[in-house]
Amino acid sequence: MQAVVIGGGVVGCLIARELSRFRIKVVLVEKLEDIGQGVTKANSAILHGGYDDPPGTLRARFCAPGNLMFDKLAEELKFPVKRTGSIVVAKDRNELPKLEELLQNGINNGVKDLRIVGKNELRELEPHISDEFNYALFCGTAGITEPWMVAIASAMNVAANGGEVVTGEEVIGGKINEGRVTEVFLSSGRKIEADLVINAAGLFYEKVASAFNVNVPPVHLRKGEYILLDKKASELVNMIIFPLPTAAGKGKLVVPTVDGGVLLGPTSVELPEFSPEDVSTTDSGLTSVRESGEYLIPGIDNAKWFIKSFAGLRPETVQKDFYIKRAEELANFITVGAMRSPGLTAAPAIAEFVVSMIVPETGIDLVRRDDFVPCLEERVKIKELPAGKVSEMIDENPAYGRIVCQCNEVSEAEIVQAIRDGARTIDGIKFRTRAGFGRCQGGFCSWNIAKILARELKKDLSEVRQNSEGSWIVDGKVRQ
């Protein structure tokens, strides 16, 4: 038996990994050059507590349990999770009922370690919070992660368990026989036999569904713009800080990142048309993000700390909820789409639900394997090791001593390992090792990383790309 999972974002990768526990060959297909480069790449990276998702929604059902699954998952797959905690801040007694509503909703949703704190405790938790705030809803289970690493590590684990991970190939349709998909067609012309098809194509779940003549709720896009701040800003921030939520969503936040930076944002703006390539940022969006940051933490709007702006797109439906369903039209085709926030947090619980509850609806009886290997080997991060250990590593392999990314202290040996793990582009290296993620955003190290990629992949430098087709770094030699 063979399952084809379409989409190498956090949702598709975790479903593919969950399927790998059973006696079914898993083929994970991602149209981009690398795993985790769609919505999974550009978001707030928060493991939400789950207190603000409306009752009765799939968001409410899967967020809190998904959050709690991250500790074991992170231990097995060796990606970082920091349980920073979060606060939703309120100014005065008029705003207190909103916090109480969130608290009650959180209790109903099964959220643990949730309570309202007064001014003194708020100041202890977050000493630089604006003096205007007197109350907060504290959530101890909230945390942060690197979403792309959740996807990349899950895909590596799929491969380690005998699955196949195909990148740079788009699913364009399939063969249908007696109401079931029997083959999935890729853009290269390859045809993959399929007993089960999971559509986890992110922003493109509607497009993929329609390629199989399956109806799903129409998707529209809502953009979120961010500013990434230098590590120096982290002196002002301990945890995830939310303003009071509004009808537009959770609001513009201040969020620490796992590698020591700080994010401001996101905005929440409906795009007038379906334009999934539009990840541009705007002057007005970034100004509003800065102002909101400053409103929460006075002093954080410091131009010297701005190192990058970016935007992510949320796949939305009028139902404002995830869409998880076996197709009426095709017995073995399941769509897991409309994965707006908290899709990252909910993803592990959704993966378990899809495999245990929805796959049986397709008529497939999955049998557990007894040889599934849940753990990945830890990848070395020189920066996180004590000096004595680093010198031992350098004695064994001098490439650990050649630091390529000065901002995040990433060595040549780590970059080579990332290439062995599947990185094929400069962004592939960046997302796996953090080289190029720091203050200079690759200004100093990209060139050396390109040379290492060319050397290890035995390519000409002109063939090395930043990420996708056409994003080359050098065009050719100017002098022989």
Tell me whether residue 126 or residue 321 sits nearer to ligand FAD (CB atom): 321
**Which residues contact residue 363 at a Cβ distance below 8 angstroms, ignoring those fewer than 6 apart?**
331, 332
Q: How far is the CB of 12 from ligand FAD (least distance, A)?
A: 5
Q: How far is the CB of 48 from ligand FAD (least distance, A)?
A: 5
Both tokens of residue 193?
């036999």
Tell me whether residue 202 or residue 436 sits nearer to ligand FAD (CB atom): 202
> What does the DSSP 8-state code read for residue 117?
E
From 41, 48, 430, 432, the catalytic residue: 48
**Residue 48 appears among annotated catalytic residues:** yes
Residue matched to tokens 């970034």: 286
Alpha-helical segments (H) within 281-410: 283-296, 343-353, 387-396
Residues that bind ligand FAD (CB under 6 A): 6-12, 29-32, 37-40, 43-46, 48, 147, 170-171, 200-204, 208, 224, 266, 312-314, 339-345
Q: How far is the CB of 148 from ligand FAD (least distance, A)?
A: 8
Q: How far is the CB of 464 from ligand FAD (least distance, A)?
A: 21
Q: How many residues can be counted in the chain?
A: 480
Q: Are strands 410-411 and 403-405 parallel, antiparallel or unpaired?
A: antiparallel
Tell me whether residue 211 or residue 473 sits nearer to ligand FAD (CB atom): 211
How far is the C-alpha of 222 from the C-alpha of 374, rounded, in Å?
35
Which residue type, as a one-letter code, is found at position 24? I
Both tokens of residue 299?
């002093």
How far is the C-alpha of 49 from the C-alpha of 109, rounded, in Å?
10
Tell me whether residue 266 or residue 293 sits nearer to ligand FAD (CB atom): 266
C-alpha distances (whole Å) from 396 to each of 34, 242, 370, 413, 421 are: 30, 46, 36, 11, 20
How far is the C-alpha of 429 from the C-alpha of 415, rounded, in Å?
6
Q: How far is the CB of 266 from ligand FAD (least distance, A)?
A: 4
- Estimate the crossing angle of helix 147-160 against helix 10-19, to 10 degrees: 30
How far is the C-alpha of 106 from the C-alpha of 253, rounded, in Å?
19
Tell me whether residue 31 or residue 465 sits nearer to ligand FAD (CB atom): 31
Q: How far is the CB of 478 from ligand FAD (least distance, A)?
A: 35
Residue matched to tokens 């090791």: 385
347 — phi, psi (to 5°)?
-55, -45
Tell me whether residue 52 or residue 412 sits nearer to ligand FAD (CB atom): 52
Active-site annotation, residues: 48
